[in-house]
Structure 1
Amino acid sequence: MVAPNAVTAMALCFGLTGVRYGISGEWERAVAAIIIAGVLDGLDGRIARMLRGESRFGAELDSLSDVIAFGVAPALILYLWSLQAMPQAGWIFALCHALSCALRLARFNANIDADEQPHKSAGFLTGVPAPAGAGLTFMPLYLWLVTGLDIFRAWYVVAPWAVFVAFLMISSIATYSWTALRLRKTVRLEAIALAGLLAALLMTNPWLTLLAISGVYILLIPFGMISYARVRRAKPIAAKPVV
């Protein structure tokens, strides 16, 4: 249990460290801390399964970490970076992100032992996961870091986008999960090469790369909905007995 839960605790601390950098106006470090928290969040579950260290305690700690690192921390960073300039209602839009993240994780915990989970059984997720939601809500910040244009920092750009991402997190749309991705043997070497190049791009031009990744993720959402609908239509047919 110790190793995966330690990774989860590290993700939590990186999320809170992002707030610390946001308070001091170090926006690049603030976003980088949240991104690192997202990477660690993707590793803890795999480490737990690999070491057979899965536990109810770990699941609860993971949810609490996600709420803070990908709900509260991004909301505070967005508010400090842009939304505080919005007359009166800026804090409300920041709360939308944090609240939606908490509601999404509460729904996940409530359904964790449910027998009927259509999206999960088909290899999909329900709504946008919390780490992806945190990454998507920073898209205006990525654009600002890439272009230097203050229009992307304006509250009337950031506020609607924050609400849109918050809706994606609590929605019931089907989104791709790692288990839904199946690579053919003929393209596995190409996929490994692409992963290496992506890592290099993240080191050399992180904000433009994160912007591209976020854009691709947004574009994949409709395809995930279509794929899930196709899977759900095919399942009842496959279940019919052969006469």
Structure 2
Amino acid sequence: MTHDPSDSSSATIEPRGAGSRRANSLSLRAFAPNAITALALCFGLTGVRFAIGEEWEKALAAIIFAGVLDGLDGRIARLLRAQSRFGAELDSLSDVIAFGVAPAMVLFLWSLQYAPKFGWVAALALAVCCALRLARFNSRMDSDFQPHKSAGFMTGIPAPAGAGMAFVPLYLWLITDNDLFREWYVVMPWGLGIAALMISAIPTYSWGSIRLRSSWRMFALAGIGLLGAALVTAPWPTLLVICVLYGISLPLGPISYAKAKRRSA
């Protein structure tokens, strides 16, 4: 409750520093989503540790699990009504490390270090563009004018999706055991393209832009269950199919956004 300073009858005197202590404290309700965010950060960095040991499947699994955790923390925060500025900042820092720095390091250690020139620069591009995307998102967080967000779309591909898409050559290498997909001249342009998509201004689908008819909801639940089973049974082909479908959706995003904009107008 707030009080008007001019109303002396309702004013209360607080001990010095009490307000700052409350502002700096972390409520128990907000602890769970922030703990999940910190766990996602740790899994992202653990992926780098596995990449240093050339345990590529474990490196991918750690970063992908970080993506799963990243999808949970915000929803749990909204469910518990525990959103906070601290949580938003921690989430952005975690995303930069788990989906920018970690994938860049994995791709560099796996392929780009063998490029005669600019291999490290290409890896840096992925991390830098991820950071720029999140900085743009944070700078617009309090803005009233966000046309893509108001229509249920995002601007550019999100950081977790960018990390997953950047690993497509690695998925193909694990599936086919063909060293062509590990060549730097294949990985470098692909990684640069994904980096550019992260900072692009194209509208992309978000969960808010997807509407399911009531008659399709049972099929959607069954599909999610089958998808989970496929990820456990054959993770790399399944992730490759998901990336292909997401790539197909990218040109459709601007078309759907234009239709949504016309409807709102």
Q: TM-score, normalised by structure 2?
A: 0.88
1:145 alignment partner, SS class: helix
Equivalent position of 2:184 in the other structure: 155
- Note if 1:36 corresponds to 2:65: yes
Q: Which has the higher contact order (CA 8 A, sep 6+)?
A: 1
Q: More helix by proportion, 1 or 2?
A: 1
Equivalent position of 2:256 in the other structure: 227
Equivalent position of 2:135 in the other structure: 106
Deviates more, 1:6-15 or 1:180-189: 180-189
Letter of the 1:176 counterpart = Y
Equivalent position of 2:221 in the other structure: 192
- Note if 1:3 corresponds to 2:32: yes
CA distance in structure 1 between the partners assigned to 2:210 and 2:43 by the alignment: 28
- Identity percentage of aligned residues: 65
CA distance in structure 2 between the partners assigned to 1:5 and 1:86 by the alignment: 39
1:25 alignment partner, SS class: coil
Match of 1:116 among 136, 140, 145: 145
TM-fit CA distance, 1:26: 0.2
TM-fit CA distance, 1:88: 2.3
Gaps of 5+ in 2: 1-29
Equivalent position of 2:101 in the other structure: 72
Equivalent position of 1:19 in the other structure: 48
CA distance in structure 2 between the partners assigned to 1:128 and 1:187 by the alignment: 26
Count of aligned pairs: 236
CA distance in structure 2 between the partners assigned to 1:193 and 1:60 by the alignment: 35
Letter of the 1:6 counterpart = A
Match of 2:165 among 136, 148, 163: 136
**Over aligned residues, Cα RMSD in angstroms?**
0.5
Q: Which has the larger radius of gyration?
A: 2
TM-fit CA distance, 1:182: 1.1
TM-fit CA distance, 1:66: 0.2
TM-fit CA distance, 1:225: 1.1
1:169-184 mapped onto 2 (5 Å cutoff): 169-184=198-213
2:154 alignment partner, SS class: strand
CA distance in structure 2 between the partners assigned to 1:97 and 1:33 by the alignment: 18
Letter of the 1:200 counterpart = A
The structure 1 segments of at least 4 consecutive aligned residues displaced by more than 4 Å after TM superposition are: none
CA distance in structure 1 between the partners assigned to 2:181 and 2:258 by the alignment: 35
Gaps of 5+ in 1: 237-243
